[in-house]
Structure 1
């Protein structure tokens, strides 16, 4: 029985969704094959069967799971013989709980600080058929144009870098958030930073930041699938 993974795509099939990358890395970590269904921003009907409009979504037999964290939990429970996403089996629910804390932290405190740094660049990576929808929906949400929302990002980036201090304190002393090897806790923040890496040339963190070194290590994990993904960002 095959897994079908519904993932967001931009122009030329580019896959840069931060939440899609969480699931993509989780599947790679587990060593699971899947059938891929690409979903453009305006193709919400493709995932209507899931009872909502957002990706990522996976289907496994009769089971349908939406939301990246719920997907990670499902994969962990459905494939217990595969490498754990939440640490060693001895950690049990504690590892899952700690990953949930990271998930909430990134969703509420980090992801909103990345958007003003790259959203106008992301627009250039969206399929042409979806650009009007992307621009209109985001400008309604932000209450301003994409260019205005992304303005003064050289000043705004300081708040983003400061928000990462709890993670920085961890990865300056160990290779990954999860310890000596990456876990789903790493893939949560990684997904957001991979979103920026693929769609924008703007530098989120300095080269000597422990976060930068951590990000490079996650890029090389799981056979380097994340590093191999084509960068869509326009050259500066």
Structure 2
């Protein structure tokens, strides 16, 4: 059975950058499942699978369509229980929900401002127009003004990682001795920044950097298969 994962990309279709797509990619690899990546730009998403989604990732697994990275992880856990677990039980699911909330509020908002012009510049012209209009409506200001605020986010970004840094002093992954979906959530955010922006958010010698490097090497170096910007 061929699985297809629709992944958000810019002009270079070999560089999927969405943090949510990366969560799904590592989840599929964690389960040992083969899949093809179908690159798609922002404006093409509504036409996917006869209008099945407004967001990516979107996974087609045989006749089944699943969108939203967390729902994809839950689907994989339920459908393939004989393969390595993404959550290691109900407690792991609850932990992952918390980690996702923290990542989206503390990390995604900052990275979105830090990298906003890099994201825009990586897109095809039709997607650039969509991205500018939708983000300027969301923020109530120009992309350039948002990017100015992003410079302040860059200066204090390391402090946002302190909860992760504290945890990783006593274990190699958020999941313990091996990664779980919670690791892929945070990895996805930092991988997004790594792929789309030349700004470097992690410092050498930091335990978070060491953890991120370990994540890049997981599943045959899947994360490192796309080079840094």
Q: TM-score, normalised by structure 2?
A: 0.92
The residue number in structure 2 matching 1:18 is: 19
Distance (Å, rounded) in 1 between the aligned partners of 2:24 and 2:160: 23
The residue number in structure 2 matching 1:136 is: 133
Look up the SS of the partner of 1:211 in the other structure: helix
The residue number in structure 1 matching 2:82 is: 81
Look up the SS of the partner of 1:58 in the other structure: strand
Look up the SS of the partner of 2:42 in the other structure: coil
Q: 1:107 to 1:152 in 2, by over 3 A?
A: closer
Structure 2 regions of 5+ residues with no counterpart? Answer: none
The residue number in structure 1 matching 2:223 is: 226
The residue number in structure 1 matching 2:69 is: 68
Distance (Å, rounded) in 1 between the aligned partners of 2:122 and 2:103: 23
Q: 1:126 to 1:223 in 2, by over 3 A?
A: same
Query: Which whole-Å deviations, capped at 9, do the CAs of 1:152-199 have from their partners, x for residues lacking one?
Result: 544322443222211111112211111111111111011011011011
Distance (Å, rounded) in 1 between the aligned partners of 2:142 and 2:210: 34
Distance (Å, rounded) in 1 between the aligned partners of 2:117 and 2:56: 21
Aligned: 1:182 with 2:179: yes
Aligned: 1:198 with 2:195: yes
Runs of 4+ in 1 over 6 A off after TM superposition: none
Distance (Å, rounded) in 2 between the aligned partners of 1:146 and 1:76: 39
Q: Which of 91, 95, 104 is the aligned partner of 1:94? A: 91
Distance (Å, rounded) in 2 between the aligned partners of 1:193 and 1:151: 20
Query: Which whole-Å deviations, capped at 9, do the CAs of 1:20-48 have from their partners, x for residues lacking one?
Result: 11101111111111233222111023336
Look up the SS of the partner of 1:5 in the other structure: strand
The residue number in structure 1 matching 2:120 is: 123
Aligned: 1:46 with 2:43: no
RMSD: 1.7
Contact (CA 8 Å) 1:8, 1:41: kept in 2 or not?
yes
Q: Which of 146, 157, 160 is the aligned partner of 1:160? A: 157
Query: Which whole-Å deviations, capped at 9, do the CAs of 1:113-161 have from their partners, x for residues lacking one?
Result: 2111111111121123311111221122112222221115443224432
Q: 1:108 to 1:152 in 2, by over 3 A?
A: closer
Structure 1 regions of 5+ residues with no counterpart? Answer: none
Q: CA deviation at 1:210?
A: 1.6
Contact (CA 8 Å) 1:8, 1:15: kept in 2 or not?
yes
Query: Which whole-Å deviations, capped at 9, do the CAs of 1:53-109 have from their partners, x for residues lacking one?
Result: 00011122332211100100101111111111113xxxx211111111111211222
Contact (CA 8 Å) 1:47, 1:55: kept in 2 or not?
no
Aligned: 1:111 with 2:112: no
Contact (CA 8 Å) 2:110, 2:150: kept in 1 or not?
no
Distance (Å, rounded) in 2 between the aligned partners of 1:126 and 1:207: 30
Q: TM-score, normalised by structure 1?
A: 0.90
